[in-house]
């Protein structure tokens, strides 16, 4: 039947071509009303990526002149957005050309929604930064360009939009190009991210130089926006290759993108899509453990997504922060074992020996280790209504782990107008700055400039649960002494907070009754996640003689920050556990589930303070 | 009835290139989805996967098998049964759950079904609110689920295009589109207060084309209704209405045999069929290339009001 549907068209050929396509993620950026959504709508429309019913549903609506489609309505999908004529949150759109697939994040320009712009840019390989030709470079253009640079979005496509409003004037384009190039250079000097930038004059409304070449701007012979997007290095190169330094020498004879399209206004190094920088070796293997898979006694595998580099059976790995070594025995997937796997594949690794590994650990190549640190410096983009509070505890989520962290100092806030470093007591929503953080336990990491996965984190407000900030690690110090000096008197009594900080849980009493073997497994599992326990047998003769003693003893343990396990062995088919007045009863037959239930109880009652669940 | 081009043995090497570089876009999407599935299973206490029987659910289920292999899927499946699902869909559902070895929960808003709720009497909006949204919220509350996977894709509809991968819902299950949590890199904020929950969309970045290509490459079984064959239909203008329970024929109206298929599966009264000859997956893909309208164009529910999907989502719909 396929043949009947399409005679000259071969589905097998089509599918084969689809298999070869790669994926590029890009986001938009720029000030409010610069035309980002209109540009994306135009791009989709001119590549025939929107369905007729979708076009029909927006005809005759929006802000444009009668008869002209308001393309922004294709992406501004919320009612509030259509009512106010602005973008509030990121819209993700998808399209594909003969060469590659694209994931677009169309972000809002309004300052109030900067966090949503950062959301869209964080996963992007390229950013299309718009500048309104009639307005020039605005403070919000600088903010967005700065954030894109901090996030190390590799390629900037600067689209000078609304050229129709300035009579398609080359001079206007050149002035903005000179202006914005200077800003980008300044930003690159500050963030340390070299900018690879390309300028295109466009009119999103009229469709000039978006997909089709403009007849109105004969003075521009460079590539259209779509041609640029099609020729950037692919997403996977961004994943696996470290960010390379741009060729900053504009006079270098780099081959042009399209042989015939020499941009006379060029000063930008031309792109070379298939180019691989020979100076860059293979990036180091990084594998954050998401989950331990243990379906039966014979199998124990570590599930995760390869963050960078690649791995083969036989390779030596080190588990951080513990520092234990092993060799990879198998790379397991549902489709069969692999003989090699590289980022960003999700796989399950089986090692050649039993070592203690749990969720949150980082496996690294033994010959290219990551840093284990309790003290870091980072660039922050603050995103919460509630300003940064020095000395308050936040939760730092990094790869597959969450650790409590204190903000020790604000090193500076970045002034966007002059791109200078301003002393600051706090960071407010949409502020960008540099901070020092102390973690309550060590984590394994890289700096963000070297690894976009193992160098990134978010801060979560533990009270509101809001995502308060995006962080990019700029330096890490493994000295554990640095973390201790903020709160406690060096010679005073040890406080509950200090114990909590070291052990990762509060003191408390949990009463458990059930089969002895299961109780042992529970104790073992608590030990495995680092809990400091004191096991108290309730049926001990001493407690039978003096019943009140049990409460006294367990109370002392809890006040010392220990987790007192008051246990009663019986041969019941259920397991009962009680802590802080909360009681649970679970079947004892499924020991894994019973153990998990006890861990959940400890989380629910707040005895375990980290947000991580013990992996079982 | 299960329809697959061949039997799907576990560990059949799939047609997608593996281990050789560069990775195809389907492998990249697969890797991202598996990461999300594993994160949720590890960070929430009681996750559940909404299983709606359609092609997206079929893909999501396969990804869950892959994510935890060789361990079983560590959460149950939940089907919200409106009572208006095609009979073939229910048989398929039970067979899939059995094959995969997953626990299947089925929830129906029995009081509303008993009261005769249907889209002809109520409007589609209120019918959906009772049979889908209310049923879903009741089920989530009943089982105390704190995270629920859904197979929705951002390319389906423009308010879905705005939604996070982890979509935060308040204690009433509602979405606040103007105040979503930032979502950076692949670091998902799983923190919630008790009563709140997260809807998770592992297929967020997949398109309709990606889904069909993946079904093809991975030989994933899908419901027979997706494939064209001669079916008795009531023909009203361009619309083809399937004969199912509850269909009210006009006086003198008779069903005719029409070669047709469904592009998207919903409730039978609100899901129109389309004339088609596409009776294999490659033929469906070929047809998809030629389409000029979106896959939800056949769903009455998205169109009865401007922004109706957004309104439903605010109220707690998936
Ligand atoms: N004349 C002219 N107007 C344009 C052009 N591009 C966009 N506009 C208009 O500029 C206004 C704002 O466009 P949007 O696409 O909504 O701008 P935006 O950058 O997405 O705005 P936010 O997302 O809210 O930051 C609309 O009225 C557009 O029609 C252009 O190339 N020429
Ligand atoms: Mg916009």
Domain architecture of chain B: domains with CATH: 26-218+307-315 (3.40.50.620), 224-300 (no CATH)
Residue A258 domain-assigned (yes or no): no
In terms of domains, do A121 and A207 share one?
yes
**Cα dihedral B281→B62→B163→A23 (10° resolution):** -70
Q: How far is the CA of A109 from the centre of ligand 1 (A)?
A: 11
pLDDT confidence of residue A258: 33
Query: Which amino acid residue places its CA nearest to atom 30 of ligand 1?
Result: A162
The CATH number covering residue A144 comes to 3.40.50.300
Domain end call among A502, A536, A568: A502
Helix count and strand count (H, E) for chain A: 16, 27
CB atoms within 10 A of CB A450: 16
A108 ligand 1 Cβ < 6 A = yes
Residues 6+ apart with CB under 8 A from A187: A142, A145, A146, A149, A193, A195, A419
* C-alpha of A531 from chain center: 29
pLDDT confidence of residue A207: 96
Contacts A303 to B, Cβ<8 Å? 38, 67-68
Contacts A153 to B, Cβ<8 Å? none
Distance from CA of A543 to the nearest CA of B (A): 36
Measure the CA–CA gap between A327 and A349, rounded to whole angstroms.
10
Q: Do B207 and A2 touch (CB under 8 A)?
A: no
In terms of domains, do A490 and A536 share one?
no
Residue A416 domain-assigned (yes or no): yes
Nearest chain B residue to A615 by CA distance is B42
Q: Which two tokens stand for residue A36?
A: 């980002």
Measure the CA–CA gap between A39 and A18, rounded to whole angstroms.
26
Contacts B161 to A, Cβ<8 Å? 75, 77, 91-93
pLDDT confidence of residue A412: 96
Residue A254 domain-assigned (yes or no): no
The structural domain count of chain A equals 4
Pocket residue to mutate for ligand 1, from A39, A40, A65, A72, most atoms within 8 A of Cβ: A72
pLDDT confidence of residue A496: 74
Measure the CA–CA gap between A229 and A213, rounded to whole angstroms.
14
Q: How far is the CA of B161 from the centre of ligand 2 (A)?
A: 13
Nearest CA among B7, B298, B310 for reference residue B176: B310
In terms of domains, do A388 and A316 share one?
no
In terms of domains, do A130 and A95 share one?
yes
Give phi and psi for A320, each to the nearest 5: -115, 145
Q: Which of A11, A89, A295 sits opposite B285 (nearest CB)?
A: A11
In terms of domains, do A446 and A346 share one?
no
pTM comes to 0.80
Domain end call among A449, A482, A502: A502
Measure the CA–CA gap between A588 and B20, rounded to whole angstroms.
46
Nearest chain A residue to B41 by CA distance is A291
In terms of domains, do A482 and A541 share one?
no
Residue A475 domain-assigned (yes or no): yes
The CATH number covering residue A481 comes to 2.40.30.10
3-state SS record for chain B: CEECCCCCCCCCCCCCCCCCCCCCHHHHHHHHHHHHHHHHHHHCCCEEEECCCCHHHHHHHHHHHHHHCCCCCCCCEEEECCCCCCHHHHHHHHHHHHHHCCCEEEECCHHHHHCCCCCCCCCHHHHHHHHHHHHHHHHHHHHCCCEEECCCCHHHCCCHHHCCCEEEECCCCCCCHHHCCCCECCECCCCCCCCCEEEECCCCCCCHHHHHHHHHHHCCCEEHHHCCEEEEEEEECCEEEECCCCCCCCCCCCCEEEEEECCCCCCHHHECEEECCCCCHHHHHHHHHHCCCCHHHHEHHHCCCCCHHHHHHHHCCC
Q: Do B159 and A77 touch (CB under 8 A)?
A: yes
Q: Which of B69, B182, B287 sits opposite A5 (nearest CB)?
A: B287
Query: Which amino acid residue places its CA nearest to atom 21 of ligand 1?
Result: A33
Q: Which two tokens stand for residue B53?
A: 């029987």
**Complex-level ipTM:** 0.88
Query: Which amino acid residue places its CA nearest to atom 29 of ligand 1?
Result: A64
Domain end call among A312, A346, A365: A365
In terms of domains, do A56 and A115 share one?
yes
Residue A494 domain-assigned (yes or no): yes
Do A352 and A313 contact (CB within 8 A), yes or no?
A: no
- Mind listing the pLDDT tens digit for each residue in A413-465? 999 888 899 999 999 999 999 999 999 889 999 999 999 999 999 999 999 99
Nearest chain A residue to B310 by CA distance is A78
Degrees to nearest 5, angle at CA B21 with B16 and B27: 40
Contacts A74 to B, Cβ<8 Å? 158
Contacts B180 to A, Cβ<8 Å? 89, 116
Contacts A400 to B, Cβ<8 Å? 39, 42
Helix axes B208-218, A11-20, angle to 10 degrees: 100
Q: Which of A9, A335, A604 sits opposite B18 (nearest CB)?
A: A335
In terms of domains, do A497 and A573 share one?
no
Block means of pLDDT (10 residues each) for chain A, length 616 residues?
Answer: 50 87 94 97 93 82 80 91 92 93 96 94 96 96 95 95 97 98 94 91 97 96 97 66 37 34 36 36 89 95 97 97 95 97 97 94 95 94 94 92 92 92 95 94 94 97 95 83 42 74 86 94 89 92 88 91 93 89 88 90 80 37
Buried b (16+ CB within 10 A) or exposed e, B32-69: bbbbbbbbbbbbbeebbbbbbbbbbbbbbbbbbbbbbb
Give the H or E element holding residue A574: strand A574-579
* C-alpha of A550 from chain center: 48
Using DSSP, state whether A148 is helix, strand or coil.
helix
pLDDT confidence of residue A235: 59
Residue A485 domain-assigned (yes or no): yes
Spatial strand order of the sheet with A533-537 comes to: A533-537, A563-569, A508-514, A574-579, A582-587
In terms of domains, do A206 and A312 share one?
no
A62 ligand 1 Cβ < 6 A = no
Which residue range forms the structural domain that includes residue A547?
504-614
Chain B interface, best mutation among A345, A398, A459, by max B CB count within 10 A = A345
Q: Do A122 and B185 touch (CB under 8 A)?
A: yes
In terms of domains, do A530 and A458 share one?
no
Which atom in ligand 1 lies closest to the alpha carbon of residue A38? 15
pLDDT truncated to tens, each residue of chain B (318 aa)? Answer: 444 433 333 444 454 544 445 678 899 999 999 999 999 999 999 999 999 999 999 999 999 999 999 999 999 999 999 887 778 889 999 999 999 999 999 999 888 888 877 776 777 777 778 888 889 999 999 999 999 999 999 999 888 999 999 999 998 889 999 999 999 999 999 999 988 999 999 999 999 999 999 999 999 999 999 999 998 888 887 778 777 656 677 787 888 899 999 888 877 767 778 899 999 999 999 998 887 666 655 555 454 456 778 877 787 777
Residue A253 domain-assigned (yes or no): no
A144 ligand 1 Cβ < 6 A = no
Could you please report the per-residue DSSP string of A36-92?
HHHHHHHHHHHTT-S-HHHHHTTTT-SSSPTTS--GGGGT--SHHHHHHTS--S-EE
A569 ligand 1 Cβ < 6 A = no
Burial class (CB in 10 A: 0-12, 13-18, 19+), A64: middle
**Cα dihedral B191→B192→B198→B200 (10° resolution):** 10
Distance from CA of A390 to the nearest CA of B (A): 22
Query: Which amino acid residue places its CA nearest to atom 27 of ligand 1?
Result: A63
In terms of domains, do A345 and A468 share one?
no
The CATH number covering residue A549 comes to 3.40.30
Using DSSP, state whether A142 is helix, strand or coil.
helix
CB pairs under 8 A between A and B: 243
Residue A281 domain-assigned (yes or no): no
In terms of domains, do A84 and A46 share one?
yes
- Mind listing the pLDDT tens digit for each residue in A284-334? 999 999 999 999 999 999 999 999 999 999 999 999 999 999 999 999 999
């Amino acid at each position: 039947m396929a043949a009947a549907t399409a005679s000259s068209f071969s589905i097998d050929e089509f599918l084969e071509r689809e298999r070869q396509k790669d994926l590029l993620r890009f986001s938009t950026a720029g000030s409010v009303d610069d035309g980002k959504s209109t540009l994306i709508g135009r791009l989709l429309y001119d590549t025939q990526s929107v369905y007729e019913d979708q076009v029909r549903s927006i005809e005759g609506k929006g802000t444009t002149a009668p008869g002209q489609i308001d393309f922004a309505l294709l992406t501004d999908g919320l009612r509030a957005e259509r009512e106010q004529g602005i973008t509030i949150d990121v819209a993700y759109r998808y399209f594909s050309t003969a060469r590659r697939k694209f994931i677009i994040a169309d972000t809002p320009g309004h300052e109030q929604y900067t966090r949503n712009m950062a959301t869209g840019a964080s996963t992007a390989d390229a950013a299309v930064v718009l500048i309104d030709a009639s307005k020039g470079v605005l403070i919000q253009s600088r903010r967005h360009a700065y954030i894109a640079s901090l996030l190390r979005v590799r390629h900037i496509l600067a689209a000078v939009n609304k050229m129709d409003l300035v009579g398609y004037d080359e001079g206007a384009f050149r002035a903005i190009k000179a202006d914005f190039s200077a800003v980008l250079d300044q930003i690159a000097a500050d963030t340390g991210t070299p900018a690879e930038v390309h300028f295109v004059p466009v009119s999103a409304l009229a469709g000039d130089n978006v997909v089709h070449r403009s007849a109105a701007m004969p003075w521009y012979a460079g590539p259209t926006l779509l041609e640029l997007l099609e020729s950037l290095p692919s997403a996977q190169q961004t994943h696996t290759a470290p960010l390379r330094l741009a060729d900053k020498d504009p006079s270098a004879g780099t081959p042009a993108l399209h042989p015939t399209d020499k941009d006379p206004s060029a000063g930008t190094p031309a792109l070379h899509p298939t180019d691989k920088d020979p100076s860059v070796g293979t990036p180091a293997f990084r594998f954050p453990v998401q989950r331990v898979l243990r379906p039966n006694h014979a199998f124990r595998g570590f599930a995760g997504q390869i963050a960078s580099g690649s791995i083969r059976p036989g390779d030596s790995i080190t588990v951080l922060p513990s520092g234990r070594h092993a060799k990879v025995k198998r790379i397991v997937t549902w489709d069969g074992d692999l003989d090699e796997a590289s980022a960003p594949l999700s796989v399950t690794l089986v090692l050649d020996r039993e070592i203690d590994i749990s969720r949150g650990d980082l496996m690294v190549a033994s010959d290219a280790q990551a840093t284990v640190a309790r003290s870091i410096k980072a660039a922050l983009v603050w995103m919460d209504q509630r300003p940064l509070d020095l000395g308050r505890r936040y939760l730092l989520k990094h790869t597959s782990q969450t650790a409590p962290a204190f903000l020790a100092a604000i090193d500076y806030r970045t002034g966007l107008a002059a791109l200078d470093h301003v002393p600051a007591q706090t960071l407010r929503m949409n502020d960008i700055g540099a901070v020092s953080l102390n973690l309550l336990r060590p984590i394994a990491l890289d700096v963000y400039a070297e690894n976009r996965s193992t160098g990134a984190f978010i801060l979560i407000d533990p009270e509101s649960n809001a995502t308060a900030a995006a962080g990019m690690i700029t330096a890490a110090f493994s000295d554990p002494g640095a973390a201790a000096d903020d709160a406690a008197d060096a010679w005073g009594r040890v406080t509950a907070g200090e114990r909590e900080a070291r052990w990762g849980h509060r003191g408390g009493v949990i009463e458990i009754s059930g089969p002895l073997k299961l109780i042992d497994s529970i104790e073992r599992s608590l030990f495995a996640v680092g809990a400091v326990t004191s096991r108290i047998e309730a049926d001990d003769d001493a407690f039978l003689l003096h019943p009140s003693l049990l409460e006294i003893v367990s109370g002392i343990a809890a006040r010392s920050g220990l987790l007192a396990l008051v246990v009663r062995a019986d041969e019941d088919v259920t397991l009962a556990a009680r802590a802080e007045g909360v009681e649970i009863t679970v079947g004892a037959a499924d020991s894994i589930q019973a153990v998990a239930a006890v861990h959940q109880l400890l989380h629910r009652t707040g005895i375990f303070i980290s947000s991580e669940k013990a992996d079982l | 009835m299960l329809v697959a081009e061949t039997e799907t043995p576990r560990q059949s090497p799939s047609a997608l290139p593996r281990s050789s570089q560069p990775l195809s876009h389907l492998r990249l999407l697969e890797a991202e989805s598996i990461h999300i599935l594993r994160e949720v299973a590890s960070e929430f206490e009681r996750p559940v996967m909404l299983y709606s029987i359609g092609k997206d659910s079929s893909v999501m289920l396969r990804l869950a098998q892959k994510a935890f292999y060789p361990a079983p899927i560590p959460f149950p499946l939940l089907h919200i049964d409106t009572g208006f699902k095609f009979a073939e869909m229910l048989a398929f559902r039970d067979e899939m759950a059995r094959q995969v070895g997953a626990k299947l929960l089925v929830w129906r808003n029995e009081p509303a079904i008993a009261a005769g709720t249907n889209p002809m009497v109520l409007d589609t909006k209120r019918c959906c609110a009772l049979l889908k949204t209310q049923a879903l919220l009741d089920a989530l509350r009943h089982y105390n689920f704190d995270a629920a996977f859904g197979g929705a894709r951002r390319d389906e509809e423009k308010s879905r295009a705005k939604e996070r991968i982890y979509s935060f819902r308040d204690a009433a299950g509602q979405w606040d589109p103007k105040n979503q949590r930032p979502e950076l890199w692949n670091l998902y904020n799983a923190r919630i207060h008790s009563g709140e929950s997260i809807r998770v969309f592992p297929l967020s970045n997949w398109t309709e084309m990606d889904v069909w290509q993946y079904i093809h490459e991975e030989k994933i079984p899908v419901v027979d209704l997706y494939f064209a064959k001669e079916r008795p239909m009531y023909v009203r203008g361009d619309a083809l209405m399937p004969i199912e329970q509850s269909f009210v024929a006009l006086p003198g109206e008779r069903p005719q045999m029409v070669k047709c298929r469904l592009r998207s599966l919903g409730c039978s009264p609100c899901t129109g069929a389309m004339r088609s000859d596409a009776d294999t997956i490659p033929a469906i893909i070929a047809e998809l290339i030629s389409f000029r309208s979106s896959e939800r164009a056949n769903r009455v529910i998205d169109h009865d009001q401007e922004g109706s999907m957004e309104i439903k989502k605010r109220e707690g719909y998936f």
